[in-house]
Structure 1
Amino acid sequence: MMKNFKHIFSVILIFCSLLAGAAHFPQDKKIPNEINVGLATGDAKVLSSYFNQNVELVVLDNDNVYSKAQAQQIVTNFFNKFPPLEKNAFSIIHDSGKENAQYVIGKLKTEKGDFRVYFLLKQNDGKQYIHQLRIEQQ
C-alpha cells in the first residue's frame, strides 16, 4: 500500500512540477533517438550513456537512487529477463515538459508482457540526461 502511494505521489509530483511553468520544453529539444533505440532493442549500454551520475530507478523490485554503473547493471538484468519483442518494441505515449526538463511516458513490449516506462530528462551542459527511470509491469 505504501509503495503504491509512493509511486502515485512521485508521478503526480513530476507532472505538477513540469506542467507548472508557463514555458514549454523547446520544440527543438527532442528526445534523443538513442534513448528510444536503447529501450526498443534492450540495449542498456546505449540507454545508460544518457544516465545522470545518479539515477532514481524503479525497475521491478529495485527502487532506489543508484550510480550510473549500478543502474546500467539493473537495466541489463531487466532486459536479459524481459527481452523486447521486436526492434520497434518501445513507443512513446506522451511527452511534455518545460525549459530544461522533459518527461516521457511510453510502452515497452517484451517477450513476457508489456511494461509502462516513465523517464525524466534534464538538460545539463547542452546534453539531456535521464534523472529518473521507471519500468513497471502493466
Structure 2
Amino acid sequence: MDTFEDLKCWQSAYSLKNRIRLEILSRIPDSEKYDLKAQLLRAARSATANIAEGWGRFHFLDSRKFYYNSRGSLGEILDHLIEAKDCHYIEIDLFSSVQNDCITSLKILNGYIRYLTEKNKPSSKI
C-alpha cells in the first residue's frame, strides 16, 4: 500500500463525497447555504480527511481515533441526507441511493477498523 488512496474505505468515502458534491448540494436551496449545505459538505470532507490522517499516524491506537472520527462523519452525512429528504430538497430515489452508498462506506470502514484491531491485538502466549 502506497498511500491512503489505496484504502477501500477511503475510496468508498471519496466516491460518496463526490456524489454529494455533484448530485445533492445543487438541490439544496441557497437559504441553506450556511446551514445544511455547508454542514453536509464539511461532513463529507471530514470522512475522507480523517481516514487520510489516520493512515498517516504511526501508532494503531492513534490511527484508530481518526477512523472513529470518520465513522462519525459518515453518520453525520446520513443524518443530513435524511434532513434533505424530509425537507423535500432531494427525491426519495436519490436519497435511497446515496443512503445505500453511505451505509456501504460505513460497513467498509467498520471492516477496516475490525481488521486493524485484530491485527494489533497483543498475543496471549502462556
TM range (shorter): under 0.3
TM-score normalised by length of structure 1: 0.25
Looking at secondary structure, tell me which structure has more strand per residue. Answer: 1
Task: Answer 1 or 2: higher relative contact order, Cα 8 Å, separation at least 6.
Answer: 2
TM normalised by structure 2 equals 0.27
**Structure showing greater Rg:** 2
> Higher helix fraction: Structure 1 or Structure 2?
2
